[in-house]
């Protein structure tokens, strides 16, 4: 059985919105203000290379589908992103055009995906989807790269109203000017 892993860039006040600055959020681009160092880069590379598939919400999927097919790198990150299976959870999309992509209609179907995969199912971004996955108890692990900034506004990792969930601290370490925190379902 696979493991659902949510991996997010997040600020000290829990904002996850527009870390790269491509979404027209007036406070976006905050993640590029802080070096994550070689350890942070290795963490992100290892994470994607070890994953069996991506699970994304519609908005994140559309942004990735526009950006990743044209990217190349020397370490294989882009090749893995483009070739791995991708599941986009959406009630509004009819088809997903990015290579190896499948539309999933219901959040509850992610549990079925966990049954069909042996490795990690990796979730990036996807604020609305993450809230629903946590609410339904489907998240096995949270990997947070915490950036030393307070934005004071923006979409938060866990919106008000999400069901109470217990996680245990599995690991913490510094990566450049960020903190890497891994939590597992209790």
- Res 77 pLDDT > 90: yes
pLDDT-based confidence at 145, cuts 50/70/90? very high
Question: Is 130 within 8 Å of 123 (Cβ atoms)?
Answer: yes
Q: What is the pLDDT of residues 27-62, one digit of tens each?
A: 999 999 999 999 999 999 999 999 999 999 999 999
- Res 109 pLDDT > 90: yes
- Res 162 pLDDT > 90: no
Q: What percent of the chain has pLDDT over 70?
A: 100
Q: Could you tell me the pTM of the whole model?
A: 0.95
- Res 154 pLDDT > 90: yes
In the predicted model, what is the mean pLDDT of residues 141-161? 95
**Residue 124, pLDDT score:** 97
Domain boundaries, the chain: 3-185
**Residue 161, pLDDT score:** 87
Task: Please report, for the chain, how many H helices and E strands are present, in that order.
Answer: 5, 8
Q: How many CB atoms lie within 10 A of CB 34?
A: 17
> What is the side-by-side strand order in the sheet with 86-89?
101-104, 86-89, 51-57, 120-124, 3-11, 141-147, 178-185, 167-175
Check: CATH 3.30.450.40 for 3-185? Answer: no
In the predicted model, what is the mean pLDDT of residues 114-141? 95
Which 3 state secondary structure label does DSSP give 98?
coil
In the predicted model, what is the mean pLDDT of residues 147-173? 94
Q: How far apart are the first and last CA of the chain?
A: 18
């Amino acid at each position: 059985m696979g493991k659902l892993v949510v991996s997010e860039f997040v600020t000290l006040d829990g904002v996850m919105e527009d870390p790269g600055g491509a979404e027209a959020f007036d406070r976006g681009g905050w993640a590029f203000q802080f070096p994550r160092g070689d350890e942070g880069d290795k963490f992100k590379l290892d994470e994607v290379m070890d994953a069996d598939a991506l699970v994304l919400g519609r908005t994140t999927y559309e942004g990735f589908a526009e950006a990743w097919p044209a990217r190349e790198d020397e370490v294989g990150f882009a090749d893995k992103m483009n070739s791995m299976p991708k599941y986009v959870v959406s009630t509004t999309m009819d088809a997903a055009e990015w290579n190896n992509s499948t539309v999933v209609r219901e959040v509850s179907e992610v549990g079925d995906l966990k049954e069909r995969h042996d490795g990690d199912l990796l979730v990036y971004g996807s604020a609305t989807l993450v809230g629903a996955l946590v609410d339904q108890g489907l998240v096995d692990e949270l990997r947070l790269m915490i950036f030393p900034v307070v934005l004071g506004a923006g979409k938060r990792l866990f919106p008000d109203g999400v069901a109470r969930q217990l996680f245990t601290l599995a690991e913490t370490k510094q990566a450049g000017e960020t903190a890497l925190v891994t939590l597992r379902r209790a």
